[in-house]
Structure 1
Amino acid sequence: MEPSGPLPPEIYWRRRWLAIGAAVVALILVVWIVSALRGGGDDPSADAAAASSSLTSTTSATATGTAAPSDGAGSGGGGGGASGSASASASGTAAAAPAPGQCPDSSLAIKVSADKSTYPAGQEPEFGIVITNIGNTACDRDLGAGMQQVLVYTLDGQKRLWSNVDCYPNSTPDPRTLAPGEQAAFTVKWSGATSAPGCTAPRDPVGAGAYTVVGQLGNLRSSPEPFNLS
């Protein structure tokens, strides 16, 4: 390993280090070229950032849409509304899946809210449903009354009290094309009485207390929103 020759040893050592350095640089260059040719670019952090951006953009979108039929609005009570075949109860029927070619649940978000925090006795609660395209491309989806569902539960979420599809199902289609971040809004009124799938049980008035409302489109469910009956 000791250098030998007519020149001083430090010259031979310097030549060895230069050769080693050149070899290391060449190896790094080869690795970089191979990585580039294999098409790197599948950056999980970049994908996560894009998803976050698409979610943030929905907050500034303007809600559009038409009012859906409502339980007790001009019908003398009952359970119509932005109805659908999906059931959110633990023992309910299977949710309606989107038709082939329509945007999947994963590209949509649904939010439901009550127009008041507390309703006095005799006043019908009104619920607003907002469906948002959180994807990055325009999306076609049937948002008709037959594809939506609004459900009322006890505050703990353990007991299903009412669904707008139980007694007055509605299959009228309402195809929409939603641009990224665009929203469609609907409203449903509740008469304040209980219901069961197929309207097979007596409809009893719901007493004063705290409850939650949930919206559903296909298999997509909103977070529960609390409200009160006094």
Structure 2
Amino acid sequence: MLEPTGPLPPEIYWRRRVFAIGILVVALALVIWLVVMVVRGGGSPGDAKVAASSSTSSVKKSGDAPKSSISADAPKPSVTPAASPAPVAAGQCPDQSLAVKVTVEQPTYKAGEQPVFGIVITNISSVTCSRDVGSGLQQISVYTLDGTRKLWSSTDCYPDGQPDVRNLNRGEQAAFQVTWSGSTSQPNCAGERVPVPPGAYSVVAQLGSVRSAAEPFNIA
């Protein structure tokens, strides 16, 4: 069956067979080459994309990790509560920041009764200040009605009273009462003390250099 038959010489048939086989081998080799090229060409871009995507994903993940770490480790700002302001000590009340007023409990007393005087000290300044308004610094004096002769003073016999420091806000008042025995007095409680006779008198209150207006009253 391999032996060529026909009218032509056998060499011709063998040549034809060899040529056909050669063409078949070349065609087969060409097909194999094309398949290999297609496989290589299609696989390379895909692999490159996958590799690039993989690399980008890795970079992103590695880049995100430090952010998470920084956020976790970053110290939170601490809020320090504001310190409450320290109270400011009130300054000394100067004389010009004070007003002094004296009152008489009743306009007329009977002989032998003890008149009661009221003293009101007011802070007339615009700020809070402090002042010692103790009895040793208050001076209440009784005069004749015309004011020419002093008959009695609260500091004549009791010059050293108890201190009484007050913090006075603007417009605040400090009020006191003094009872007079109705007898005369002299500085250092010298001389004899005698009851004043019936008549018209006036009383004045003073703190430092601040004097009140005279307030009249009567002893019947």
Question: Could you tell me the TM-score, scaled by structure 1's length?
Answer: 0.55
* Aligned residue among 215, 218, 223 for 2:213: 223
What percent of counterpart residues are identical? 60
* Residue number in structure 2 paired with 1:138: 128
* Residue number in structure 2 paired with 1:198: 188
> What secondary structure does 1:132 align onto?
strand
Deviations 1:77-131 (A, max 9, x none): xxxxxxxxxxxxxxxxxxxxxxxx5211100000001100000122100000000
* Residue number in structure 2 paired with 1:171: 161
Figure out how many residues of one structure are paired with residues of the other and give that number.
130
Higher RCO (C-alpha under 8 Å, 6+ residues apart): 1
* Residue number in structure 2 paired with 1:129: 119
Unaligned runs of 5+ in 2: 1-90
> What secondary structure does 1:165 align onto?
helix
CA RMSD of aligned residues (A): 0.9
Deviations 1:12-63 (A, max 9, x none): xxxxxxxxxxxxxxxxxxxxxxxxxxxxxxxxxxxxxxxxxxxxxxxxxxxx
Query: 1:222 Cα shift?
Result: 0.3
Q: How does 1:39-50 map to 2 (within 5 A)?
A: none
Query: 1:146 Cα shift?
Result: 1.2
Question: Could you tell me the TM-score, scaled by structure 2's length?
Answer: 0.58
For 2:108, the aligned partner's letter is T
Deviations 1:124-151 (A, max 9, x none): 0000000000000001100111110100
Q: Look at both structures and tell me which one has the larger radius of gyration over its CA atoms.
A: 2
How far apart, in 2, do the equivalents of 1:113 and 1:172 lie? 22
Residue 102 (structure 2) pairs with residue 112 (structure 1):
yes
Unaligned runs of 5+ in 1: 1-100
Query: 1:194 Cα shift?
Result: 0.3
